[in-house]
Structure 1
Amino acid sequence: MNTGAGKRSWRMARVIAMLVLTATVLAGIALVARRAARPSPREELVASLAAMKRGNYSAARNHAIAASEGPDPAPANAVLGRTYLLIGDGAAAEGALNRAVAAGMPRVRLHQLFADAYLAQGDPERALAEAARAAPRYGVYAARVRARALAARGEVPSATALLEEVLARQPNDAAAFGALGRIRMAAGDVLGADLASRRAMALDPANLDAIVLAGEVVRSRYGLVAALPWFERALSQDAYYLPALIQYAATAGEAGRYTAMLSATRRALAARPSSPQALYLHAVMAARAGNRDLARTLLGRTGDAGLTMPGVVMLAGMLAYADGGYEQAVVSFREVVGRQPMNLVARRLLGASLLRSGDARGALEILRPIAVRPDADSYTLALAGRAFEATGERDWAARFLDRAARPALADPQPFAGDGSPGALAAAVAGAPGDPALAVAYARSLVDGGRIDLAEQRAEAIATASPGAPEAQLLAGDVLATQRRFGAALARYRQAANLRFDAPVMLRLAEAANRTGATREATAALSLYLSQNPQSLVAHRVLANLQLGARDWPAAVDTLERLHEGTGNRDALIQAQLAYAYTAAGDAETGLGYGRAAYQLAPMNPAACDAYGWALYEQGKTDAALQLLEKAAKLAPDHAGIRWHLGQALADAGRTAEARREIAQALRYPAFPDRAPATALLKLIGA
Structure 2
Amino acid sequence: MSKNPAKYPVAAPAAAPIGAGAALRGAILAGAVLLGSAAAVPAEAGAPERAREAAARGDLKAAQLEWRNAVRDDPGSAATRISLALASLELGDGEVAERETRAAMERGYDPVRGTALLIRAYLATGRFDELLRDFPAPGSSAGSPPANPAVAAQVLAGRVFALLSIGQAGPAGEASQAALRLAPEAEEVQLAAAAVAMAAGDRAAAEAATDRVLARDPASVEGLLRKGALQFERRDVRPALETFTRAVAAAPGNVVARLRRAEALIQLNETARAKEDLDTVLAVVPNNPPGLYLRAMLLARAQDWAGTDAALQPIGAVLGNFPDGFLLLAFAKRGLGQVAQAEDAARRHLARQPEDPRGARMVAAFEIDANRPEEAVAILSRLAERGAADAEALDLLGRLQIRAGRPREAVAALSRAAELAPGDAGVLGRLAAARLAAGDTAGTAAAAEGALQRDPARPGVREMLAFTALQRGDLQGVEAELGRLDPAAQRSEIGGVLLGTLHLARFELQPAKATFSNVLRDYPASAAARNGLARIARIENRPEEVERLLGEVLRAEPTNSEAIGQLAAAAMPGSPRAVQARAVLTAAQAAAPGAQPLTLALANVMMRSGDAAGAARMLAAAPGQGESGGSITLPLARAEAHAAAGEWAEAEVQSRLALAQDPDSVAARRQLAGLLVRSGDARGAEALIEQGLRTRPADAALQQTLAALVLQARGLDAALAVADRLAAQPGTQPASLALRGDVLSTARQPREAAAAYAAALAQAPSGLLAVRQAAALRSAGDLPGASAALRTWLATNPDDDGAGLLLSQFDIEAGRNTEAAQRLEKVVARHPEDPVSLNNLAWLLGQRGGDAAAQSRALALAERAYFLTPNPDTADTLGWIMARGGQAERAVPLLRQSAMARKGDRPDPGSAYRLAYALRATGGREEALAVLTAAMEGAPAFPDRAEAERLLADLRTRR
Aligned to 1:342: 355
Aligned to 1:595: 460
Verify the 8 A CA contact 2:237 2:268 in the aligned structure 1.
yes
| 1:327–1:346 Cα change, 3 Å | same
Aligned to 1:95: 96
Verify the 8 A CA contact 2:241 2:264 in the aligned structure 1.
yes
Task: Say whether residues 1:120 and 2:124 are aligned partners.
Answer: yes
Task: Say whether residues 1:288 and 2:458 are aligned partners.
Answer: no
TM-score by length of 2: 0.38
Aligned to 1:325: 338
Q: Specify the code of the residue in structure 1 equivalent to 2:415.
A: L
Task: Say whether residues 1:68 and 2:71 are aligned partners.
Answer: yes
Matches within 5 A, 1:209-220: 209-220=222-233
Supply the distance in 2 between the matched residues of 1:338 and 1:219 (Cα, whole angstroms).
Answer: 27
Verify the 8 A CA contact 1:334 1:350 in the aligned structure 2.
yes
Q: Specify the code of the residue in structure 1 equivalent to 2:251.
A: D
| 1:620–1:173 Cα change, 3 Å | closer
Greater relative contact order (CA < 8 Å, ≥ 6 in sequence): 1
Supply the distance in 1 between the matched residues of 2:483 and 2:171 (Cα, whole angstroms).
Answer: 73
Q: Could you say which structure has the larger radius of gyration?
A: 2
| 1:284–1:213 Cα change, 3 Å | same
Task: Say whether residues 1:659 and 2:823 are aligned partners.
Answer: no
Verify the 8 A CA contact 1:279 1:298 in the aligned structure 2.
yes
Name the SS of the counterpart of 1:95 in structure 2: helix
Name the SS of the counterpart of 1:282 in structure 2: helix
Q: Report the alpha carbon displacement of residue 200 of structure 1 after superposing the two structures with TM.
A: 0.8
Aligned to 1:141: 154
- Give structure 2 stretches of 5+ with no counterpart: 1-40, 139-145, 434-444, 486-494, 506-527, 529-560, 563-823, 835-959
| 1:104–1:571 Cα change, 3 Å | same
Supply the distance in 1 between the matched residues of 2:337 and 2:217 (Cα, whole angstroms).
Answer: 53
Matches within 5 A, 1:11-410: 43=45, 64-72=67-75, 75=78, 76-85=80-89, 87=90, 89-90=91-92, 92-98=93-99, 105=106, 113-132=117-136, 137=148, 138-221=151-234, 223-353=236-366, 356=369, 366-372=379-385, 380=393, 398=404, 403-404=409-410, 408-409=414-415
Verify the 8 A CA contact 2:43 2:49 in the aligned structure 1.
no
1:453-500 deviations in whole A, cap 9, x for unaligned?
xxxxxxxxxxxxxxxxxxxxxxxxxxxxxxxxxxxxxxxxxxxxxxxx
Supply the distance in 1 between the matched residues of 2:399 and 2:448 (Cα, whole angstroms).
Answer: 30
Q: Report the alpha carbon displacement of residue 571 of structure 1 after superposing the two structures with TM.
A: 5.2
Supply the distance in 1 between the matched residues of 2:265 and 2:400 (Cα, whole angstroms).
Answer: 39
Matches within 5 A, 1:515-526: none
Supply the distance in 2 between the matched residues of 1:602 and 1:345 (Cα, whole angstroms).
Answer: 36
Supply the distance in 2 between the matched residues of 1:211 and 1:375 (Cα, whole angstroms).
Answer: 34
Supply the distance in 2 between the matched residues of 1:136 and 1:52 (Cα, whole angstroms).
Answer: 39
Supply the distance in 1 between the matched residues of 2:462 and 2:159 (Cα, whole angstroms).
Answer: 60
| 1:397–1:659 Cα change, 3 Å | closer
Verify the 8 A CA contact 1:371 1:381 in the aligned structure 2.
yes
| 1:246–1:401 Cα change, 3 Å | farther
1:304-350 deviations in whole A, cap 9, x for unaligned?
34442223222112222333434323432343334333322223323
Percent identical pairs in the alignment equals 21
Name the SS of the counterpart of 1:273 in structure 2: coil
Verify the 8 A CA contact 1:178 1:197 in the aligned structure 2.
yes
Q: Specify the code of the residue in structure 1 equivalent to 2:136.
A: A
Q: Report the alpha carbon displacement of residue 398 of structure 1 after superposing the two structures with TM.
A: 3.0
| 1:577–1:625 Cα change, 3 Å | farther
Name the SS of the counterpart of 1:302 in structure 2: helix
Supply the distance in 2 between the matched residues of 1:305 and 1:603 (Cα, whole angstroms).
Answer: 56
| 1:126–1:57 Cα change, 3 Å | farther
Aligned to 1:5: none
Verify the 8 A CA contact 1:80 1:93 in the aligned structure 2.
no
| 1:301–1:323 Cα change, 3 Å | same
Name the SS of the counterpart of 1:274 in structure 2: coil
Verify the 8 A CA contact 1:407 1:604 in the aligned structure 2.
no
Name the SS of the counterpart of 2:460 in structure 1: helix
Verify the 8 A CA contact 2:462 2:481 in the aligned structure 1.
no
Verify the 8 A CA contact 1:112 1:141 in the aligned structure 2.
yes
Q: Report the alpha carbon displacement of residue 268 of structure 1 after superposing the two structures with TM.
A: 2.6
Q: Report the alpha carbon displacement of residue 146 of structure 1 after superposing the two structures with TM.
A: 0.7
Verify the 8 A CA contact 2:395 2:413 in the aligned structure 1.
no
Verify the 8 A CA contact 2:467 2:478 in the aligned structure 1.
no
Name the SS of the counterpart of 1:128 in structure 2: helix
Q: Report the alpha carbon displacement of residue 287 of structure 1 after superposing the two structures with TM.
A: 1.4
Q: Report the alpha carbon displacement of residue 300 of structure 1 after superposing the two structures with TM.
A: 1.2
Q: Specify the code of the residue in structure 1 equivalent to 2:98.
A: L
Verify the 8 A CA contact 2:152 2:182 in the aligned structure 1.
no
| 1:373–1:189 Cα change, 3 Å | closer
Q: Report the alpha carbon displacement of residue 147 of structure 1 after superposing the two structures with TM.
A: 0.4
Verify the 8 A CA contact 1:194 1:214 in the aligned structure 2.
yes
| 1:46–1:375 Cα change, 3 Å | closer
| 1:323–1:183 Cα change, 3 Å | farther
Q: Specify the code of the residue in structure 2 equivalent to 1:119.
A: L
Supply the distance in 1 between the matched residues of 2:312 and 2:63 (Cα, whole angstroms).
Answer: 31
Deviates more, 1:286-295 or 1:257-266: 257-266
Q: Specify the code of the residue in structure 1 equivalent to 2:830.
A: R
Supply the distance in 2 between the matched residues of 1:296 and 1:260 (Cα, whole angstroms).
Answer: 22
Matches within 5 A, 1:579-658: 579=449, 590=456, 592-595=457-460, 616=480
Verify the 8 A CA contact 1:327 1:353 in the aligned structure 2.
no
Supply the distance in 1 between the matched residues of 2:123 and 2:468 (Cα, whole angstroms).
Answer: 56
| 1:143–1:286 Cα change, 3 Å | same
Verify the 8 A CA contact 2:262 2:274 in the aligned structure 1.
yes
| 1:94–1:123 Cα change, 3 Å | same
Aligned to 2:852: none
Supply the distance in 1 between the matched residues of 2:187 and 2:351 (Cα, whole angstroms).
Answer: 38
| 1:620–1:170 Cα change, 3 Å | closer
Q: Specify the code of the residue in structure 2 equivalent to 1:403.
A: E
Q: Specify the code of the residue in structure 1 equivalent to 2:95.
A: E
Q: Report the alpha carbon displacement of residue 208 of structure 1 after superposing the two structures with TM.
A: 0.7
- Give structure 1 stretches of 5+ with no counterpart: 1-38, 389-395, 413-509, 511-536, 545-558, 635-653, 665-686
Supply the distance in 1 between the matched residues of 2:466 and 2:127 (Cα, whole angstroms).
Answer: 58
Verify the 8 A CA contact 2:262 2:273 in the aligned structure 1.
yes
Aligned to 1:465: none
| 1:363–1:169 Cα change, 3 Å | same
Q: Specify the code of the residue in structure 1 equivalent to 2:123.
A: L
TM-score by length of 1: 0.51
Verify the 8 A CA contact 2:330 2:342 in the aligned structure 1.
yes
1:212-234 deviations in whole A, cap 9, x for unaligned?
21122223346222322111111
| 1:382–1:266 Cα change, 3 Å | same
| 1:70–1:220 Cα change, 3 Å | same
Q: Specify the code of the residue in structure 1 equivalent to 2:361.
A: R
Q: Report the alpha carbon displacement of residue 374 of structure 1 after superposing the two structures with TM.
A: 8.5
